[in-house]
């Protein structure tokens, strides 16, 4: 399966590489079912979303 087209510029990639984000997010969304990602949907719709919003739409204040 292809990666999400936003992966290279997505803050989730950066957080994962920095060791701040569990790999499950990458596997379940970015390299899995990215169509269900809230970040993806909002990006497509041109809607603002903060960098620390996770793929399920929840906010991680530690990011």
Residue 59, helix vs strand vs coil: strand
| Binding of ligand SF4 by 16 (CB under 6 A) | no
Question: Is 7 an interacting residue with respect to ligand SF4 (CB under 6 A)?
Answer: yes
User: Among residues 15, 17, 23, 40, which is the contact residue for ligand SF4, using CB under 6 A?
Assistant: 40
Nearer to ligand SF4, 7 or 60 (CB): 7
Burial grade of 18 (CB within 10 A; 0-12, 13-18, 19 or more)? exposed
| Cβ neighbours for 25, distance < 8 A, ≥ 6 positions apart | 12, 16, 54, 55
Which residues of the chain form contacts with ligand SF4 (CB under 6 A)?
Answer: 4, 6-7, 10, 12, 29-30, 34, 37, 39-40, 43, 55
């Amino acid at each position: 399966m292809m990666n999400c087209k936003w992966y290279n510029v997505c803050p989730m990639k950066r957080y994962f590489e920095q060791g701040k984000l569990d790999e499950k997010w990458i596997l379940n969304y970015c390299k899995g079912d990215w169509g269900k990602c809230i970040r993806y949907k909002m990006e497509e719709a041109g809607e603002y979303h903060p960098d620390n919003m996770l793929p399920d739409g929840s906010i991680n204040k530690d990011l």
